Amino acid sequence: MSFKVMLLPGDGIGPEVVDAAVCVIDKISNKFNLKFEFDRGLIGGCSLDQFGVPITDETLNKCLMADAVILGAVGGPKWESLQHNLKPEAALLKLRKSLELFANIRPAKVYDSLADSSTLKSDVLRGTDFVVVRELTGGVYFGTPRGFDDNRGWNTMEYSRYEVERIARHAFELSLTRGKRVTSVDKANVLDCSQFWRKIVHEIHKDYPEVTLNDMYVDNAAMQIVRNPKQFDVLLTSNLFGDILSDISGIITGSLGMLPSASLGKDHALYEPIHGSAPDIAGQNKANPIATIASVAMMFGYSLKNYEAAALIEKAIDKTLSGGYRTADIFSQGTVLLNTKEMTQMILKNIDEISD
């Protein structure tokens, strides 16, 4: 059987990094005798330009029929003045909701060879390896009522018991495969919604007595990520807080171009780098493809359960970085500067060398 992958390159550097992902999938499929079937669709600004909507029903239906979706990036200055429901980012919210992708998994791992690339001290960073588990279909992004007028703007933050139970269980289950430590991040000292969140998380924790649970306010969590990131194993948090904290994690790895993600539901999965569309370098062959390639590794692990293939991609990335090869966003004196295609080819070369 062939594995159906829907490709949504999107805007800016999205097409460049998705092309890199396809190269890696092709390489791995040959190594493991796997068959992939690709389809492509427009999303974000490019879909707006061609169809007048950020994602069409046809593209959405193709995503629903796929085994996995790989997304590049959406957005850019060209579309920032559009009303909320027509902005490129609206396509992401619709896609996540339609595919019922409730769990966003965002690893923040520091490669030893990149410990000096961050503005933080290397001794603070070495050994950091945590995962942000972000609830993806509830919270302030989807709550109603919402809107604004000339005098005020308003959004509604709300969570149901089912939504919190579902994401909490996912975090606890994930922690069982790691360090068995979960930090639940909220703002329970101020927000009623966070008090509800904390109550439900603690109820679910009773089913996982071997896991250590502690609570942390989101403002303190943001500080602790840059102060002592090694203290974390699994960070469990809501949609808004998870969005912020996972981006803060970019300083841990040295660049957002290093951060992959998986958005998982019961029947569907979406894989994407967490960086934006970077319109300032779009089309210049300068983008870092590693986050997207690492997202492909997550796809092999989560969707195909082929952990050997996932590990092979991760090892190839590590070997490439250890060899001193860098794209512009992580370049430093004494390393070798590569463009997008060259970095992809180097990772492919290392896949061959490791597996031979």
For the annotated catalytic residues, the residue numbers are 141, 187, 219, 243, 247
**How many whole angstroms from its chain centre is CA 187?**
23
Which tokens is 252 given? 């841990």
CA distance 45 to 10: 7
**Tokens 């003045």, located at residue:** 81
The CB density around residue 162, as the number of other CB atoms within 10 Å, is 11
Pairing of strands 212-217, 262-264: unpaired
Which tokens is 102 given? 């409730």
Q: Are the C-beta atoms of residues 20 and 289 closer than 8 Å to each other?
A: yes
Rg (CA), the chain: 20
Q: Which of 16, 81, 75 is nearest to 45 (CA)?
A: 75
Which tokens is 176 given? 């069982």
3-state secondary structure of 116: coil
Query: Rounded to whole angstroms, what are the CA distances from 169 to 84, 172, 200, 224, 315?
Result: 32, 5, 11, 24, 29
Buried b (16+ CB within 10 A) or exposed e, 56-90: beebbebbeebbbbbbbbbbbeebeeeeeeebbbb
Pairing of strands 103-109, 129-135: antiparallel
Phi–psi pair at 68, nearest 5 degrees: -155, 155
Pairing of strands 262-264, 269-271: antiparallel
